[in-house]
Amino acid sequence: MKRDTFFLSGTIILIIALGLQTFADEGMFLPDNIPGDLEGFQLSPEDIYKPGGGGLSDAVIIIGGGTGSFVSPNGLVLTNHHVAYGAIQRNSTPENNFLENGFYAGSYQDELPAPGYDAYITLNFIDITDRVLVAVNDKGSPADRSEALSKIIAQIEKECENLAEGTEGRVVSMLDGSAYYLFTYMKFKDIRLVYAPPGSIGNYGGDIDNWMWPRHTGDFSFMRVYTGPDGIPAEYSPDNIPFNSKAYLPISKQGFELGDFAFILGYPGGTMRYRTSYSVDWNLNHSLSFRIKIFRDLIDVLEAESKNNEELTIKFSSKIRGLNNALKNNQGMVEGLKKSNLLVRKKQEEKEFARFLNNNRNLNKEYSDVLPSIDKVYREHAFGFETDSYLNYLRFAFTLSNAIKIQKWSEEKEKPDAEREPGYLDFQIPNMRKRMGLGFRDYHAPTDAKVLKYFLVNMANIPEDQHPEFLRDIIAGQNIKEYERTIGDFIETLYANTGIVKKEECMKMFDLSLAELDVLADPFIEFAIKVNAALKINKKKNDKFNGTITVLRPRYFKALAEWKGGDMYPDANRTIRFTHGTIKGYFPRDGVYYKHLTSLRGVIEKNTGEEPFDVPEKIVNLRTEHDFGEYMDKKLGDVPVAFLATTDITGGNSGSPVMNSKGEIIGCAFDGVYESMTSDWQFNDRLTRTISVDSRYILFVLDKFSDAKQLLKELTIK
C-alpha cells in the first residue's frame, strides 16, 4: 500500500521498523498525513481533518486519561467506563455506591461534577523544530542540553497559554527528537458525569478478563463538557452551560460484517517502535520487571488496608484498578517480548546495519559510532537503577509528594520565572495546586504511611553504597531487623507531627515563602529537603542520559534511512492520531481461532453470580425473553457485545470512537488483546487487535436495561 511520506523539517524521514517492513493496517498517523487510498473508506482525509476546524477530528477529545468523542451538539461525550471510573468513584459513598449501582442523570441539573477531569480539543499543530533545536544545539554538556531543551519547551508552552480564551500549548518531540511540534488545545475544566452502567456491566470480568479475549464487558460511559455562560472554558460553576460542540458523531445501530473497514481517531499515549536493542534490553531486564514488583506490592498494601472497610474500598478502588491494569500490561509485555524474541531480532538487525555501514566508507565514517554510543549510554544509566527508581516512586506516597512540591516551590518562587526549573513556572503552579487539593479526596494517612514505609524499607535492602544520604541518616548502618523498626518509628513520628496530612494546612503551606516555611520547622518539610537533594542528583543523571540520547537517536534514524526505507509515521505521544483496519479475528496460538464478535449469550455463560461475573438479573431476563429490540445482530441472533479490529492503538486510546467507512460510531475502543501486549514495540498483523464495545450493546443497555430515554433522545442514531 502506498502511503504519503512524512516530512520533518524539510527532510524526508523513511520508515524504520523491525525488519524494515510495513503492514497494511500498521500506523498511527497525524491527521494531516492520513493515507489517501484506503480500500473501503468512503471519506477523504479532508473530511477527517481540516486546518482551522471543520473535520471529524474536531469531535474527538482528550478526556481524563483516555479519549472521548462528542456525540451531540450539547457537549455530550462517549468514553469508557474505566476512563470515567475516577469520577464515578469520587461521587460514590457506601450509602450511594455508583460503582456498584451505576448512575444516570435524566437532566442537566442531575449531572455530577467530575473533579480532576479536564478535556482538550486539538485546535492546530505546527512544526517548531528550528526554534527548539536552535535553542539547544549550542549547549555544551548533555545535561546542559537537556536542561536547555526543557526550558525552551516550557517557555513556548507559557507563551501559548491564553486564559481569556481557554487555550494552551504543548510541545512534543517526534521521532525521539528529530522534530518538535507545538499543539494548541482548547482546555475544558468543567466535566460532569452523565451516565455510567453498574460495575457488573461496565467492569464485567474485572481484572480476570482484563486484556483478554473473548470479552463481554460494557466498558462505556457518558460525560459532558461545560463552559462558562460566554462559551469560554471555565472552572466548575452552577451557572456554566453545556459546550456547543459543532462537530459530533452519529452512532450506528446497523452493525458491520467480518472484513469491513474501520478506523479510529484518538490520543494514543506512547509507543517505541523505532528503539534499539539496548532500549529493549533496558525495559525487559530492568524497568518492566521492577515495575511489576512495585505494582504487585502496592496492590497488596491497598487491598489489605481496605479489606472489610467499604469506605476505603471505594476510596482506593480507582488506584487499585489502575495498578492492576498496569501490572497485567507489564506482565504481558515481558511475556510477549520473550516469546517474540524481539531483543534477539533487534540485535540481528543491528548487525546487518553495521555490515551495511562497513561497505559504505563515507556512511561508516559518519555513523559507525552511533550504536556503540547508545550502548554506552544505557550501560552507564543502569548503574544505581534501583535507587533511582525507588526515588521516583517515593512520590506515590501522597504526603511526601506534597512535601516535596511545597519545599521545592518555596525555593523556586524566590527566583525570577525564567530561571526556575520547568514545572515551577508561574503559569504551571495553579494546576499543581489544584492537583494537590484533589488528591485529598482519595487520601488516607495511615495507608499512606504504610506505602512510604514499603518504599524506604525496600530501598534499604539495596547495597549500602547505593543508599541516598537521607536513608543513611535514618538507618545509620543498621541490620534488617533494626532498620525496619527504625524506619517504622521514623515514619510514625513524621505523620504524627506534620500539618501536611490535613488539606487546609497543606494548601496554606504551599503558599508560604521560604522563610515562613522554615519557621514552621515541619518534620515532613525537613525530610523533603533531604529527599529533594537526592532527587536533584537523580535529575542530573537523567539529564545527562536524555541530553545524550536525544542527539544519538535522530542520527540513528538518519543512518537507517540511508540503508532501507519506506514511509514513516511518528511514534505515539498523546497527540491526535488516525489508524485504520478491518473487522477481523485472530489465531492466538496453534489450533485456536478467536472470532471477531461476542454476544449477550457469552455474558450469561460467564455468569457466576459473584463479582466480577455477576450479571444483573434484568440482563438475564432480557436475554431469556429475547427482548433485544432493534439491537440484535441477525447473523448472531443475539445482541453483540464486543468486537475485534486490526486497528493500531495503545494506552490513551481508551474511549476512542471506532467508526465505519462513513464516519459513524460502531464501537468504543477499550483494550488490546493479551497476545499483542508488545504492540508498543512492534506491530504484528497476525496478533495486534483492538477490543471495542459494540455500539449496539451500548444502545441496548441504555434502552432496555437503564431506560435512559432522555439520553437516547439526545444521540443521533443511524
Looking at the annotation, which residues are catalytic?
Answer: 82, 219, 654
d(C-alpha 384, C-alpha 467), whole Å? 9
Q: How many CA atoms lie within 13 A of 591 on its CB side?
A: 0
Nearest to 688 by CA among 676, 671, 680: 676
d(C-alpha 635, C-alpha 659), whole Å? 21
d(C-alpha 331, C-alpha 328), whole Å? 5
Q: Which amino acid is at 261?
A: F
Nearest to 176 by CA among 557, 569, 550, 556: 550
Cα 518 to Cα 335, 404, 474, 531, 532, distances in angstroms: 50, 14, 21, 16, 15
309 three-state secondary structure: coil
Contact yes or no for 222/695 (Cβ under 8 A): no
d(C-alpha 466, C-alpha 383), whole Å? 9
Q: How many Å is the Cα radius of gyration of the chain? A: 26
Q: Which residue has the cell 460510531?
A: 665
399 three-state secondary structure: helix
Please list, in sequence order, all residues whose beta carbon lies within 8 angstroms of the beta carbon of residue 210, skipping any fewer than 6 positions away.
324, 325, 328, 671
Q: CA quadruple 121, 126, 131, 136: dihedral positive or negative?
A: positive
How crowded is residue 249: how many other Cβ atoms within 10 Å of its Cβ?
22
Sheet holding 597-599, edge to edge: 577-582, 261-266, 657-659, 665-672, 690-694, 640-645, 597-599
Longest dimension (CA), the chain: 76
d(C-alpha 414, C-alpha 422), whole Å? 14
Please list, in sequence order, all residues whose beta carbon lies within 8 angstroms of the beta carbon of residue 173, skipping any fewer than 6 positions away.
179, 180, 550, 573
7 three-state secondary structure: strand
